[in-house]
Chain A
Amino acid sequence: MNVVELKNISKSFGNSLANDSIDLAVKRGEIHCLLGENGAGKTTLMKILFGLYSQDQGSILINGAEVEIKSPRQAIELGLGMIHQHFMLVGRLTVTENIIAGREPRRGILIDYAEGMRQVKELTATYQLSVNPGARVEDISIGEQQRVEILKALYRQAEILILDEPTAVLTPQETGELFAVLKKLKESGKTIIFITHKLKETMAISDRVTILRDGKKVATIATSATSPTELARLMVGREVILRVKKAAAMVGKTVLQADHLTYYHKKNNRQLEQLSFVIKAGEILGVAGVEGNGQQELEELITGLSRNSQGKIFFKGKDISSWSIRERRYAGIGHIPSDRLKRGLIPDFNLEKNLILGSEWQQPYARKGFLDYKVIRENSKVIIERFRIKTSGSQALVQDLSGGNQQKVIIGRELRREPELIVAAQPTRGVDVGAIEYIHKLLLKMREEGKGVLLISAELDELLSLSDRLIVLYEGRIVASGNTVDFTEAELGLLMAGQGRGGVKNGPTE
């Protein structure tokens, strides 16, 4: 029995066709993944279902009856609930107030807050969605806020829940918790449509999966009958290597050495304590950890964005602790920053200008302070071609590129400088599968060429497949370090959560 059936749905924005004659059938009580790269049209399709967009053509059937959904209110009445990519909660209000807003239980003309609280507690108990109904939303974690969104939908008696990339904002632990909740919801008979571009999640959670590519439906398959490799191929439209192969490390001299780095942040009290490690030529050192445990500080210290630390940093044997950012860049440190739009690019500069960011005083792009646009344009052409950046050309504004292509701009620019060490922070965050594969290959190529790579990532898969050695950061300390082959994913997860078995794997850091 199909609870939701979309037939021949099309929707265009201006000239671009976001949805192209898409059919989708969702069975009652299943978890159905909607899988596709960024821009494939997943959100658009679900917004049509939820009454936020109107389709250009096609029809919607709920429980077998054709309906016209003109607004979210109507969608809610039909038993739909949508949890958006960006939460729609009021931070100053409590969890309960947020959940009951618009449908408050009343006593006379007054809102019966106590009754609301009771109902919310009942819901949290039924579905084991642990969250404190009296807490203010701004005080609770992102994972809890997401549960509030789910509760909001359940409170409105949603039978069909749509979640738009719900894991994008979660830590691995929170993702695990979310999956448990979703399974619980499924057991109690709810239907779930789960939007994602991550293969692993699709394999882990879904009963069936529908793949979208470039606005078209590619296939619907039972998850048990498919594999990540097949899904990746369907999603990208070509063969994708998920785990890039890497040759044995050929390590050379020490490129970078951090010696008892200790750092006190000015504003909040995040800190790094006594960090010591080395990176040798031809190896990738991975830094694992849940975000906010010192990764950003480490990134900033090595690249020179912040300098007031204790301890020393040596680059190719020289003490660079007090060097400026420019000095470090010129000396051969490349940087793929974790926040690419904030740090790595100037969104309303065009491509060719972004591609010389940091080199604008250097030959051959400039001579004695005068820019040579012929060389700059040539450089941009070379990088666009070599790194397969999809764009209308050198004059295109970087803000108009997709996330993956923006990342390629940064990587292309940094690698073009032929650095001896690259600090790659979250290099594949928010990037498509195809681009991830490519970025991984590039990092490995650097390694093969005898460069050092400091890979800071929140993706365990990435760390495990690329790094030669790992350090795990927890609350600003290295809680474990060793060769990557000595760690399992489960172990890493525990270490990242601060549950290391005191001193395990405190193997050699060099």
Chain B
Amino acid sequence: MVRLNKLKDQQGIIFNLLYSVVAIVIALLLGGILIYLSGHDPGKAYYHLVYGAFGNSYNLAQTLLNSTPLIFTGLAVAIGFQSGLFNIGGEGQLYWGALATAVTALTFPHLPGLILLPLALLAGALAGGCWGVIPGYLKARTGAHEVITTIMLNYIAILATTFLLRNYYKEAGPVDQTPLIAESARMAELIPFTRLSWAIFLGLAVVVLSDYLLKKTSIGYDIQAVGKNSAAAEYAGISVPGIYILTMGFSGAVAGLTGSTLVLGLFNRFITNFSPGYGFTGIAVAVLGRNRPWGVLLAALLFGALEAGGMSMQLYARIPADLMRIIQGLVILLVAAPAFIQLLVGSLLNRPGGGAK
């Protein structure tokens, strides 16, 4: 194990990439066996998987569209993790982000887009951030474990936003949703008829920004110091509680942007229960992306591709959607079972063994 860890350090990013690729390939192989066993043709299935994800500009747009929210939620988890916190509250934070954004856009319909859009985004980030600060504060003050508090706060957020919607912002009609926001507040489509908006670029920007923040700034240094050894951080004069609060705020803000971009770029309104669990999928994305911003980007793209490809597999190769979920699950499982794959990669790189008998 010691040897393998050393090996991992030596190879750094290359190793991580190689490692993840091996995990994905094994998952796809196992998935292929499952597809075969369930009476389908794996070759055909995987052709449609790849074609459905990258085959033409429309399919590619679907992949990116699916990836966008996951970039944000994955990043939110990864950022929390940098200071050693496990933010499972992305789901709740994104609901607040979505509601705040929708309400802002609805409140100022006459503002020009150039002002309204940033304002609405800011409102979403702020709302998500505030919701993230709560568990951060509880952790800092009372030591309450953030996993528990963020899970609880998810329920409160989802129910509270629904309550507010029904009582104050609901459009007349049977559906629990706000009226449409003004045209000027919508994020423009990148490719016509694909619904892919430039929210993806905002995601990219946040990736670049987080990466820069973590690597090149003093505050990023402090965040990582707390995550890697909070006792030493304290020794060095870093306020550990302060960093917890700050990181959770930052993480919550990024999660909030998930909701904002969905409102401004996709639904153009707030709808109850609109998220199919982006906040939770973000955890898997962060794990797969090794909690690093660029890793999260790649992982989100992979998830988006699997989603889009899975859809076409289902349509054209008649593979049940559940199989796709199983393959996704396998990818995560294999990434989360590092010992096994490390061993495999270790022997692939063919390092001579040594050590105890």
Taking CB atoms and an 8 Å cut-off, the chain B residues in 215-241 that contact chain A are 216-219, 221-222, 224-225, 228-229, 231-239
Q: Is the CB of A371 within 8 A of B217?
A: yes
Residues of B contacting A356 in the complex (Cβ-Cβ under 8 angstroms): 221
Q: Is the CB of B356 within 8 A of A52?
A: yes
State the CA gap A241–B251 with chains docked (Å): 54
Q: Mark A27-62, 1 if CB is under 8 A from B, else 0.
A: 000000000000000000000000011100000000
State the CA gap A360–B239 with chains docked (Å): 13
Q: Is the CB of A53 within 8 A of B237?
A: no
Residues of B contacting A357 in the complex (Cβ-Cβ under 8 angstroms): 225, 232, 236
With beta carbons under 8 angstroms apart, the residue of A52, A330, A337, A360 that contacts B222 is: A360
Residues of B contacting A358 in the complex (Cβ-Cβ under 8 angstroms): 235-237
Q: How far is the CB of A437 from chain B (nearest CB, A)?
A: 26
State the CA gap A13–B352 with chains docked (Å): 10
Taking CB atoms and an 8 Å cut-off, the chain A residues in 369-428 that contact chain B are 369-371, 373, 397, 400
State the CA gap A329–B238 with chains docked (Å): 11
Q: Is the CB of A13 within 8 A of B354?
A: yes
With beta carbons under 8 angstroms apart, the residue of A14, A327, A346 that contacts B354 is: A14
Task: Check A346/B235 contact, CB under 8 A, given A14-B354, A53-B357, A369-B218.
Answer: no
A342 at the interface (CB under 8 A from B): yes
State the CA gap A53–B236 with chains docked (Å): 41
B189 at the interface (CB under 8 A from A): no
B9 at the interface (CB under 8 A from A): yes
State the CA gap A96–B219 with chains docked (Å): 55
Q: How far is the CB of A323 from chain B (nearest CB, A)?
A: 10
Residues of B contacting A347 in the complex (Cβ-Cβ under 8 angstroms): 228-229
A172 at the interface (CB under 8 A from B): no
Q: Is the CB of B231 within 8 A of A343?
A: yes
Taking CB atoms and an 8 Å cut-off, the chain A residues in 331-377 that contact chain B are 335, 337, 342-349, 353, 356-358, 360-361, 366, 369-371, 373
With beta carbons under 8 angstroms apart, the residue of A335, A370, A400 that contacts B217 is: A370
Q: Is the CB of A349 within 8 A of B228?
A: yes
Residues of A contacting B239 in the complex (Cβ-Cβ under 8 angstroms): 324, 326
Q: Is the CB of B352 within 8 A of A14?
A: yes
A305 at the interface (CB under 8 A from B): yes
With beta carbons under 8 angstroms apart, the residue of A329, A370, A400 that contacts B216 is: A370
Residues of A contacting B174 in the complex (Cβ-Cβ under 8 angstroms): none
Q: Is the CB of B217 within 8 A of A305?
A: no
Task: Check A360/B355 contact, CB under 8 A, given A14-B3, A342-B232.
Answer: no
Q: Is the CB of B225 within 8 A of A346?
A: yes
User: Total interface residues on B, using CB and 8 Å?
Assistant: 28
Task: Check A360/B221 contact, CB under 8 A, given A14-B3, A14-B352, A343-B232.
Answer: yes
Residues of A contacting B237 in the complex (Cβ-Cβ under 8 angstroms): 324-330, 358
A12 at the interface (CB under 8 A from B): yes
User: Total interface residues on A, using CB and 8 Å?
Assistant: 38
State the CA gap A347–B216 with chains docked (Å): 19
Q: Is the CB of B218 within 8 A of A360?
A: yes
State the CA gap A361–B220 with chains docked (Å): 11
State the CA gap A400–B6 with chains docked (Å): 9
- Number of cross-chain contacts by CB at 8 Å: 84
State the CA gap A14–B221 with chains docked (Å): 34
Q: How far is the CB of B242 from chain A (nearest CB, A)?
A: 11
Q: Is the CB of A345 within 8 A of B218?
A: no
Task: Check A335/B235 contact, CB under 8 A, given A348-B228, A369-B219, A370-B216.
Answer: yes
State the CA gap A33–B355 with chains docked (Å): 25
Of all chain A residues, the one with the shortest Cβ separation from B212 is A370
State the CA gap A264–B237 with chains docked (Å): 22
State the CA gap A335–B235 with chains docked (Å): 9
Of all chain A residues, the one with the shortest Cβ separation from B351 is A14
Q: How far is the CB of A119 from chain B (nearest CB, A)?
A: 33
Give the one of B3, B217, B236, B239 with max A CB within 10 A: B236
State the CA gap A116–B338 with chains docked (Å): 46
Residues of A contacting B6 in the complex (Cβ-Cβ under 8 angstroms): 400
Residues of B contacting A397 in the complex (Cβ-Cβ under 8 angstroms): 9
Q: Is the CB of B355 within 8 A of A13?
A: yes
Q: Is the CB of B356 within 8 A of A345?
A: no
Residues of A contacting B224 in the complex (Cβ-Cβ under 8 angstroms): 349
Residues of B contacting A345 in the complex (Cβ-Cβ under 8 angstroms): 229, 232
State the CA gap A373–B218 with chains docked (Å): 11
Q: Is the CB of B221 within 8 A of A371?
A: yes
Residues of B contacting A361 in the complex (Cβ-Cβ under 8 angstroms): 218
Task: Check A325/B235 contact, CB under 8 A, given A54-B357, A347-B229.
Answer: yes
State the CA gap A325–B233 with chains docked (Å): 11
Q: Is the CB of B352 within 8 A of A305?
A: no
State the CA gap A343–B219 with chains docked (Å): 19
Q: How far is the CB of B273 from chain A (nearest CB, A)?
A: 40
Q: Mark A130-145, 1 if CB is under 8 A from B, else 0.
A: 0000000000000000
Q: Mark B1-36, 1 if CB is under 8 A from A, else 0.
A: 001001001000000000000000000000000000
Q: Is the CB of A305 within 8 A of B235?
A: yes
Q: Is the CB of B217 within 8 A of A344?
A: no
Residues of A contacting B234 in the complex (Cβ-Cβ under 8 angstroms): 305, 325, 343
Q: Mark B321-357, 1 if CB is under 8 A from A, else 0.
A: 0000000000000000000000000000001101111
State the CA gap A196–B352 with chains docked (Å): 32
Residues of B contacting A373 in the complex (Cβ-Cβ under 8 angstroms): 216
Residues of B contacting A346 in the complex (Cβ-Cβ under 8 angstroms): 225, 228-229, 232-233
State the CA gap A89–B224 with chains docked (Å): 37
State the CA gap A161–B237 with chains docked (Å): 47
Residues of B contacting A370 in the complex (Cβ-Cβ under 8 angstroms): 216-218
State the CA gap A358–B3 with chains docked (Å): 31
Residues of A contacting B354 in the complex (Cβ-Cβ under 8 angstroms): 12-14
Taking CB atoms and an 8 Å cut-off, the chain A residues in 301-339 that contact chain B are 303, 305, 324-330, 335, 337
Residues of B contacting A371 in the complex (Cβ-Cβ under 8 angstroms): 216-218, 221
Q: How far is the CB of A49 from chain B (nearest CB, A)?
A: 14
In order of increasing CB-CB distance, the 9 nearest A-B pairs are A326-B237, A358-B236, A325-B237, A343-B235, A360-B221, A14-B354, A346-B229, A357-B236, A54-B357
Q: 11 interchain pairs (CB within 8 A)?
A: A13-B354, A53-B356, A325-B234, A342-B229, A343-B234, A344-B232, A345-B232, A349-B228, A360-B218, A361-B218, A371-B217
User: Beyond the given A14-B352, A346-B225, A360-B221, could you list 8 further A-B residue pairs with CB under 8 A, ordered by the A residue number?
Assistant: A13-B355, A303-B235, A330-B237, A343-B231, A346-B229, A357-B232, A366-B218, A400-B6
